[in-house]
Amino acid sequence: MHVTYVADENVLDPLVASLTSLALNGSELGTVYVTIVCCGMEANDLKYRLPRLGGLEIGTQRLTGAVLEEFPSPNNSVSGHYTRAVYVPLLLPKVLPKSVNRTIYLDCDTLVLGSLDELWGMDLGGRGIAAVRDRYVQNISSRFGVSFWRELGICPELRYFNSGVMLVDVQLWRRESVTERARVLLEHFDNDIEQHDQEVLNALFAGNWLELSDEWNTTNFWRRSSRRYSCGDDMLERAIVRHFAGELKPWVPHDPSELPDGWKYWWYLKLFKGEE
């Protein structure tokens, strides 16, 4: 199994919490190989701790500014405080080792609470991505969906996925020049794009991705009790990958009642630091 993260200095604690949860829960079949793509971050502070995480074999790939400059800077009113690093997932075919033909991509604000073995073994059926439908942005034409769907002639009713957890066929991405096609879209629509790599990937794979159940990417949509129990039992308890997507994060000051499972983040972080 291979897992990929993209990180900078702003998400170091969330990254190590996620890595710790991956080491403890990620696989029952053996070593998990991890690539951390570092954006403007020296990995030295991280490396001396990583050997403590049994079951993971971790490598780092540091991106230079020259690589990131292949993409335009996010420059609209919504994306004004972001940097080019938000587009790094579009570079997976370029930055991952040539030996990696598929990977599970995880955002740093995720916790792995169950085995990823089933996900890793899924048949993509010729598709480039397996992902979970975004519960906030239901369709391509929804607000915060693909803003340029009309220009591309995409069917507006097609479903829209959250890119924070993906099974990626890296070999297919290379074969179909996904990075180069993404660059073309960014050149044409950079002033319209609000959801960064997620919006671009939804445009590129519209109608051609494998939909996963919500357990594989349980977002903050499910934090409210009225939604958590809508499927019968507690969706937060069923989560295999818990994704703290959006502005509400365990490490950002908030009312604990707004994030009932936020304590899990602190548990994994303290475990990593030897403070259990």
Kindly report, residue by residue over 146-167, the tens digit of the pLDDT.
888 789 889 999 999 999 999 9
pTM for the full predicted model: 0.92
> Domains in the chain, ordered, with CATH?
2-272 (3.90.550.10)
Q: Who's near 259: CB < 8 A, 6+ residues apart?
A: 220, 223, 244, 248, 250
At residue 113, φ and ψ (nearest 5 deg) are -105, -5
Which pLDDT does position 232 carry in this prediction?
Answer: 59
Please, are residues 109 and 243 in contact by the beta-carbon 8 Å criterion?
Answer: yes
Which pLDDT does position 253 carry in this prediction?
Answer: 87
Please, are residues 133 and 162 in contact by the beta-carbon 8 Å criterion?
Answer: yes
Residue 234 pLDDT grade (very low, low, confident, very high; cuts 50, 70, 90): confident
